[in-house]
Amino acid sequence: MIVNWKKEKGGINVIPLMTKGVTTDNIILLQGHNEIDDEVWANLKKQTAVKKHIMREDLVEVFESAQGEKGKDKDKDKKITNIHQMSAGKSKEIIKDTWDLTTLDKWLNGESRNDVRSIVHNQIEAVNNPVKQLKGSKK
């Protein structure tokens, strides 16, 4: 699942993953888009603090609606949550707002569309060299 941590000035959000009342892990969300394992996300959504962020729309699930085959509506409500199955436009939008290098590397390794791979490369460069990117944007 891809989620967007978009709380204004939210910075980094560390959410304890609770299992039977015990913290079993910490999930770290950077400002912008983050990928979370579906099972972990299902667990997190049950937690009070996460529910509050979802209600305030500080934390939003990101997906694309499936386009069912012509004449068939069976897939019209299906949510596409895998970046590699989303349209190139939606994928690029998400990638440009992702700051976690592990996620970007994972997406790069699984991506076959050259135009999307190029955007991932650019975003990795922006994360690795933020000062260079800022200087380049002022030209």
Q: What is the pLDDT of residue 8?
A: 85
Alpha-carbon span 22 to 25, nearest angstrom: 9
pLDDT tens for 47-88 read 999 999 999 999 999 988 876 444 455 555 678 888 999 999
Residue 6 Ramachandran class (φ > 0 left, ψ -120 to 50 alpha, else beta): alpha
Single out the residue of 123, 102, 111 nearest to residue 35, CA to CA. 102
Give the predicted TM-score (pTM) of the model. 0.81
State which of 69-83, 86-100, 125-139 shows the largest mean pLDDT: 86-100
CA distances from 40 to 43, 117, 139 (A): 5, 27, 43
Question: How far apart, in whole angstroms, are the C-alpha atoms of residue 92 and residue 86?
Answer: 10
Q: Give me the pLDDT at residue 65, please.
A: 83
- Whether pLDDT at 138 is above 70: no
